[in-house]
Homo-oligomer: A and B are copies of this chain.
């Protein structure tokens, strides 16, 4: 991990967001020359500057410091330090926080999923099984013909093949731990 890598991370996040150097610099209240130098690893920016950039990108500051790891024995994720995967590829704005993206050979795929009150209902169908554990908020969860009202601490294990829908009917974000597992018998 060095300034080069930090810069590459920032550049990756910026381009993913469809922002130009100029636009992000303005949003973060730094000049574009400064941002350019940061992204190219030409300076060792103080955290105060990086914080402004992180805030403008709306990502946790820790996102700037990830490095590609290789086949670790375990993956440890600090609270809030999971890699945020924005809902690209879906028409939903949900944000997924992957908790173990660094591990290659894994049977488990854990995420923390946040659904905001204004988010549209989502419908899912896929193979395998799924386990969810509510962390905060309230979520209306439809599975098959049943509708369940999930609150913090509730948990649910089900076959993903059963059509399931999510809808946040409350006025606070709903956060839940979500764990996918592929069916190995397939």
Contact = CB atoms under 8 A, between A and B. Distances in A.
A155 B99 contact: yes
Determine the interface band of chain A, counting residues with CB < 8 A from chain B: 35 or more
Interface stretch (A14-22, A84-92, A174-182): A174-182
Number of copies: 2
A136 B110 CA distance: 19
A74 B162 contact: yes
Given A152-B79, A153-B77, A3 B47 contact: yes
A65 to B, nearest CB: 4
A75 interface: yes
A75 B179 contact: no
Interface of A: 1-3, 6, 43-51, 54, 60-67, 69, 71, 73-82, 99-100, 103, 106-108, 110, 128-129, 131, 133-136, 143-144, 148, 151-159, 162, 175, 177, 179, 181, 183-185
